[in-house]
Amino acid sequence: MAKILTESPIKEQEICIQCGLCCDGTLFGHAVLQKGERGNLPEKIEQQYGNEGEAEFFTLPCAYFEGKCTIYDKKKAVVCSAFRCQLLKTFAQGDVSQQDAVKIVTDALKFKVEIYELYKQIFGVDFKLSFRELLNEMGKMTEPPAQKTKELALLKAKCNIYETLLIKNFKSIKTFEAMIDSTVE
């Protein structure tokens, strides 16, 4: 049985705390809980609890994420310390430098801001939901505003590019395949 890494090495943490894409709902819509964690979690995580069959989780974005984790050094769910995105794994293998990893994170965050700014330009409202929720909202659209057809096409293209960059840099192929399998069913 493989041992679960419950705390990332310091160099990985330095990359991680600049990112937050796993906490803010950009990469995932929920975070999986270990058996027995419910009832022993910070209050806001308990309030975001959900389950599907025997699988337990809390929904994202995390209520403790405000541009960074506000309980980083306090008790939280195991997944919060144990999850290592593909970028951290690639860094740990020595395939990307810390400087390059930080640049990948910075570029990803800037691109997400561009997407939200374009959304605001098209619809005239600040979008306060996560990237996953933004994608869901766009999927529900039936008729784009007539005068905004080109802008909406650009927004959709940017979202597709961003999702590809997230898969390439932050999600494993296994995670991606699991996402595809769950959407096919």
Domain ranges of the chain: 28-84, 85-185
pLDDT above 60 (res 70): yes
pLDDT (average), residues 156-172 = 91
pLDDT in tens, 44-55: 999 999 999 989
More confident residue, 125 or 106: 106
Beta pairing class for 49-52 and 30-32: unpaired
What is residue 126's predicted lDDT score, i.e. its pLDDT? 78
pTM (2 d.p.): 0.83
Rounded distance, CA 178 to CA 181, Å? 5
Say which residues have a Cβ less than 8 Å from residue 68's Cβ, sequence separation at least 6.
17, 20
pLDDT (average), residues 54-63 = 94
Which strands, in side-by-side order, build the sheet including 55-59?
30-32, 55-59, 49-52
pLDDT (average), residues 138-165 = 84
